[in-house]
Amino acid sequence: MEKKARESLIERRALLADAERAEMQAVDNHRRAWEQALNGEITPAEWREDWKPQLEKAKQDTLRRVGILTEAVEVAAGEVEAISALAESAAVNALAAVKSEIAGEIRSAEGVEGLRAALGLLFERVEIVRTPIDSPPLTGDGGRDC
């Protein structure tokens, strides 16, 4: 996936560079012809006749450039989504490993003192609070507001 995305990006950069060169050439040609018209070397009618197709080509080059940039953004967005999914998967796997480790430590603890010792190894602070069965569940920090 990474190699394919890199190749696609390299290809789009080359297309973009070609489109930018064509666009700059069209702008430069347009400027020269405008100067010729201002200096009287060509008539305004000749300028319009000569430049109508070239202006259309410049417009198409610009649209092509915008299309290439749009495709590059879409490819990058797809890569970001893929990387995000990989990161999420790695985080879920890491949390599952921690959960498994905690469960293993607690299972191997013998008696209440062993359980306390196992929890003490895993957590900085453990507070056990006994509540009546019919009381509402505790929230936040031991029933106090967070």
CA distance 37 to 46: 8
Secondary structure in 3-state letters for the chain: CHHHHHHHHHHHHHHHHHHHHHHHHHHHHHHHHHHHHHCCCCCHHHHHHHHHHHHHHHHHHHHHHHHHHHHHHHHHHHHHHHHHHHHHHHHHHHHHHHHHHHHHHHHHCCHHHHHHHHHHHHCCCCCCCCCCCCCCCCCCECCECC
Mean pLDDT within 70-91: 82
Q: Using 50, 70 and 90 to split pLDDT, how confident is the model at 2? A: low
Q: Which residues contact 105 (CB under 8 A, 6 or more apart)?
A: 118, 119, 121, 122
Quote the percentage of the chain above a pLDDT of 70: 86
Looking at per-residue pLDDT, the higher value among 103 and 92 belongs to: 92
Q: Using 50, 70 and 90 to split pLDDT, how confident is the model at 140? A: low
Global pTM value = 0.41
CA distance 60 to 51: 14
CA distance 68 to 49: 30
Give the pLDDT score at 139: 67
Give the pLDDT score at 67: 82
| β-bridge mates for residue 141, sequence order | 144
Q: Using 50, 70 and 90 to split pLDDT, how confident is the model at 61? A: confident
CA distance 35 to 28: 11
Give the pLDDT score at 146: 43
Give the pLDDT score at 106: 66
